[in-house]
Amino acid sequence: MATQAVPHLMTLADLSVPQIRRLIDRSHHLKRTSLPWLEPQGSLPFKKQSKLRLPSQSLFNKTIALLFSKRSTRTRLAAETGAMLLGGRALFLGKEDIQLGVNENVRDSARVIGGMCQGIFARVGEHKEIEELAQHSPVPVLNALSSLWHPTQILADLLTLHENAHLFVLPDPNTPADARKPVPKGRVEKLSELRPLTVAYVGDSANVLHDMLVTYPRLGHTLRVASPAQYRAPPQVWDRVVELGCDKRIWWGADPKEAVNGADVVVTDTWISMGQEAEKTERLKAFEGYQVTEELCKLGGANPDWKFLHCLPRKPDEVDDEVFYGPRSLVFYEADNRKWTIMAAFDLLFGRWNISADYNVPLNSVEGS
């Protein structure tokens, strides 16, 4: 076992801006190098096939434990398919599959799982559960979702926005249309820069928003949040926001129309998270008027070309069909990108134990691919 300190990732608040950028860039690179391998056999010309490079094989012969106590579609699919592309295996361990919480405590389970697997991707209820898991694990623990944070979702959102940066470019009449520089042969196209955006979030203050609060402002974006007064960020989250200086770029109120004013991107999430089903009636009443619609964003003064994000699964109360399935929606690109951002986190955290921004292997080598 390596002697260096075991790296864990609980929230993007734990990472520096260069480390966050490193993960997003790595996601883009792994996506570009992996996609050709997933095309139907024979669809690429032989000349192109011969130039293909494998994505990083940092998980070769390694096993990642998926310790999930909550249902999952995108997160599980992304983890299992991403681990395979990295040369490893993801082992799903649901709450009905193992002794954790029944005949064995977290400390003992963390040691046993970490003794046989090389990483733990944990989707839990209360955040304290994953903190205890990381405290006793001999291998890296990555937060797949907890009551407070959802770091891999925000990485996917950021990758989606960067890949669609052209949708947010302010036209410059002095720049010729053919000014784009060609990409050198054998290199993966660099991820597009993203101008500072105004991002509106309309809905419950839950784990997705919490990682937005500690990330977007540090990347130069402005957040405008609307939620009922009783559904605001808990103190342990807001303390991190202030500690990182992110509060200076956050507006928070109760009026959804005011929140979307000037928005380039409008985001919402479920109003009723898993485990909150008993609060459904109360919550639906509290969030009346918070449904994202064309009318809401027009009345509120969102930018004419605003785009929409949602982490899924979606309920019609949160956003209507016109927006969700319409041309503004980036939700399925966002869902697809869960795979590549989780794959990047697996590569750097589980495979290399290194998310440092200065870590560099030539991109045209098999190891660095």
Catalytic status, residue 311: yes
H or E, element range at 122? strand 119-123
Q: What is the dihedral of CA 208, 212, 214, 219, to 10 degrees?
A: 150
CA distance 329 to 80: 26
Residue among 314, 315, 310 nearest 333 (CA):
310
Measure Cα distances from 209 to 47, 126, 192, 232, 293 in Å. 46, 16, 24, 10, 19
CA distance 10 to 138: 16
DSSP 143: E
Sorted by sequence, the CB contacts under 8 Å of residue 307 that are 6+ apart come out as: 164, 167, 168, 264, 265, 266, 328, 329, 330
Residue among 58, 36, 352, 339 nearest 188 (CA):
36
Residue among 14, 12, 20 nearest 356 (CA):
20
Q: Which residue among 117, 246, 297, 311 is the active-site one?
A: 311
Q: Which residues are known to be catalytic?
A: 311
